[in-house]
Structure 1
């Protein structure tokens, strides 16, 4: 069989499964990656952050809106869905929570008023996946539209700062979602959009094959690094050497701050509502 050019003694290299969240966590801090995805039992996490609660509630309300028949996709019904999804986790008190609930009502109402709610997205919170030469990139997309025969990736944002074209262009998550949606749904996908509800703005980027390839290359490099570190850890490697802390301002809101002395020294402790927009 060797004369035919086959080598049955070499197994193909296992593709590493990654999500944009995993890649971002690795880039942010290898120690945090280890604690989040490898340590068992998982170290205790910190409590809820109000800004994360706010974002989750808005996302869930918009998801629920598209589960409704077209005639019910009104701004008023969207606000009612937000009330149904609302939680006070992470806020200072009920009074503060009420202030931000009112803000979120305005964001959702204004967004739905501008939106063509007669559209039927091809995906809402849709899981998509695609293999590349070295990885399987996968993740859950907020919304996938079909416009003029092409898929469009829509990502809702509720952060305190407006977003730009550069944010859309540079988002590895959106690029990987575009590739994964293309393969999962068998239609072309190049356009990615960041819908920032607090400002009502939409940041748009049209990818080329070259720009998508650059994002894949960076993702594969990171996957090689985290895969090697993970395999070496499983073989008995030193976790402190393989997954060192990467300290900075991000240590302030790290879920595993209580288990990381270096992180505690690097950044001050914040109240759970400190990252809300003023």
Structure 2
């Protein structure tokens, strides 16, 4: 059966490079949602068609990041909306496959850009960028916890006098129900844990900005929260290691399956996953060696 690795892989060596166990909030969320989804994305590296909604979210994030490049007085709604098309062009230049989603000068394209502009307008109704001076934007953070590298990208980090930190994450969808709110807060606590372990400071505030329905969710963490998050991350990684060692990436059926790109391969829907690739353990535990060219894809 494919999926077994040689002794060096199992011991933590892959080729000439040591295995580097690493986990981001996105991949942690994948495994918690469905271990088979984690396998499809991290081990099999199955392609997923880009969606217009996801691309719109990427565009809005890009505009909200770039807006802070100009002086405070120039951070107007009009200036932000004017950034949409040039930022989209920059994204397409970096990822040409996005051009198939938007760019045919059709009515659908106009509606797509109008929807993006509406999300930007909602942000202006929630926050005033002329009164904000982020300490960091699209900040890459990384910390090692018992040999496991935790890493991620933070949309915005605000710092108040006295060193008080606020971690801000933009969401272009709607705020989740209570059933799914814990997942969003886990992501923010993950970031807070990394900041605490690298800077020795517990962020004063975690803030999720939901543009889909114009809502802000705030949470004040403490050390006990972050210690619990650390224990959860360690337990989650142990579960990933067991799945990698046994090849048992069992599916977990939920309502989120309706949006999965890999239903045709899922046993829950009558499908059959592909054979595990050679070196599956190393691929499962070391995303960089698996071909992840950027640190994470939050």
The bucket for the TM-score relative to the shorter chain is 0.7 to 0.9
Give the conservation status (yes or no) of the 8 Å contact 1:125–1:142.
yes
Give the conservation status (yes or no) of the 8 Å contact 1:175–1:212.
yes
Tell me, in whole angstroms, the C-alpha distance in 1 between the residues paired with 2:143 and 2:48. 33
Residues 151 and 263 of structure 1: CA distance in aligned 2, closer, same or farther (over 3 Å): farther
How far is 1:67 from its partner?
2.5
Tell me, in whole angstroms, the C-alpha distance in 2 between the residues paired with 1:263 and 1:131. 38
Tell me, in whole angstroms, the C-alpha distance in 2 between the residues paired with 1:46 and 1:137. 24
Give the conservation status (yes or no) of the 8 Å contact 2:142–2:152.
yes
1:8 aligned residue: none
Give the conservation status (yes or no) of the 8 Å contact 2:175–2:215.
no
Query: Structure 1 stretch 67-76 or stretch 80-89: which is displaced more?
Result: 80-89
Tell me, in whole angstroms, the C-alpha distance in 1 between the residues paired with 2:122 and 2:256. 32
Matched, 1:174 2:188: yes
Give the conservation status (yes or no) of the 8 Å contact 1:46–1:258.
no
Matched, 1:256 2:262: yes
In the TM superposition, what are the counterparts of 1:1-278 in structure 2 within 5 Å? Answer: 16-39=21-44, 42-43=45-46, 45-86=47-88, 94-112=106-124, 114-133=127-146, 135-148=148-161, 149-161=163-175, 167=181, 171-185=185-199, 187-230=201-244, 232=245, 237=246, 239=247, 242-263=248-269
In terms of Rg, which structure is larger?
1
Give the conservation status (yes or no) of the 8 Å contact 1:134–1:220.
no
Tell me, in whole angstroms, the C-alpha distance in 1 between the residues paired with 2:269 and 2:67. 40
2:276 aligned residue: none
Could you say what secondary structure the match of 1:246 adopts?
coil
Residues 228 and 60 of structure 1: CA distance in aligned 2, closer, same or farther (over 3 Å): same
Tell me, in whole angstroms, the C-alpha distance in 2 between the residues paired with 1:248 and 1:179. 28
CA RMSD of aligned residues (A): 2.9
Residues 258 and 170 of structure 1: CA distance in aligned 2, closer, same or farther (over 3 Å): closer
2:91 aligned residue: none
How far is 1:84 from its partner?
2.3
Unaligned ranges ≥5, structure 1: 1-10, 266-278
Residues 264 and 74 of structure 1: CA distance in aligned 2, closer, same or farther (over 3 Å): farther
Residues paired across the two proteins, number: 240
Give the conservation status (yes or no) of the 8 Å contact 1:16–1:223.
no
The structure whose RCO (Cα within 8 Å, separation 6+) is larger is 2
Residues 228 and 15 of structure 1: CA distance in aligned 2, closer, same or farther (over 3 Å): farther
Give the conservation status (yes or no) of the 8 Å contact 1:252–1:263.
no
Residues 162 and 89 of structure 1: CA distance in aligned 2, closer, same or farther (over 3 Å): farther
